[in-house]
Every structure is written in structure tokens, then in C-alpha cells.
Amino acid sequence: MSSRVETHYREENFQELDMSVEVKTNLRRKYRVQVTVAIYREGSLSYKSEILSPAFYSKRAEARDHIRQEIRERLAHSRFFRSTRLDYDLVRYTEEASCNTYLRYSIQDTEI
């Protein structure tokens, strides 16, 4: 390529890159709560599902407060307990202890 063509090509790419940066600056960061439900039968993972809350939070602290409130309510009004496993927040044991349900809460950030 001649240097004139290369320069023109670089300028076009720079303009495209610059436009994509402009678009991203208009986006706002929002946070959502994700709940992971896992069922272990006799110590082996048999089911796992991840659910995103439909609510968006403008601050991470708001999403964290939602998680704290959710955990407080589950501990007070259900058969869930604090999990001893590091990768989950809550656990519900069956009477036989052969099928346990674990919950994990996390915060997902998105730009909208």
C-alpha cells in the first residue's frame, strides 16, 4: 500500500473506533441480582439454575442491600440456614440429608 492509502485507512479505523467510544459513554452501568440454585443428591450436583432478578439498581450498594434483605427473610421465614460451603450463601437440608438445596447470590453489572 502507498503511504497515502495507509494513512487514509488508519484515519477511517480511528473514526470508527472513536464513534464506538462515544456510544459507550452514553451507557449507564446498572446492577442486577443473580440467584444460583443448586441441588446436590448424595454429594453430587444434580441440578443447577441461574436466575436474574428483573430489577435494576443504579448502585452496587443497593443490590447488596437487596441481597442482605433476601437472606434475612429466608433465614427468618423458611427452612434455609447459612451454608458451611464457601461457594453458597444458604442451604436447605432434607430430613435424610441426601438431597440438599443451595442458594448463592451475586451481583451482575450491565451497561444500558
> 6 in a domain, yes or no?
no
**What domain count does the chain have?**
1
Calpha distance 49→37 (Å, rounded): 5
Does 99 fall in a domain? yes
The total of other beta-carbon atoms located within 10 Å of residue 12's CB is: 10
- CA separation, residue 74 to residues 1, 77, 90, 98 (Å): 67, 5, 9, 21
Identify whether 12 is part of a domain.
Answer: no
Q: Does residue 25 surpass a pLDDT of 70? A: no
In the chain, % helix, strand, coil (3-state, to 5) comes to 35, 35, 25
Q: For residue 45, which amino acid is it? A: L
Give domain status of residue 33, yes or no: yes
- Tens digits of residue pLDDT in 41-99: 988 999 999 999 999 999 999 999 999 999 999 999 999 999 999 999 999 998 877 89
Q: Which domain holds residue 44?
A: 29-111
User: 2 lies in a domain?
Assistant: no
Q: How far is CA 102 from CA 37, 65, 84, 105, in A?
A: 6, 20, 10, 10
Asked if residue 8 is part of any domain, the answer here is: no
Is the pTM higher than 0.85? Answer: no
**34 in any annotated domain:** yes
Counted residue by residue, the chain has a size of: 112
Question: Is residue 72 situated within a structural domain?
Answer: yes
Q: Is 32 helix (H, G, I), strand (E, B) or coil?
A: strand
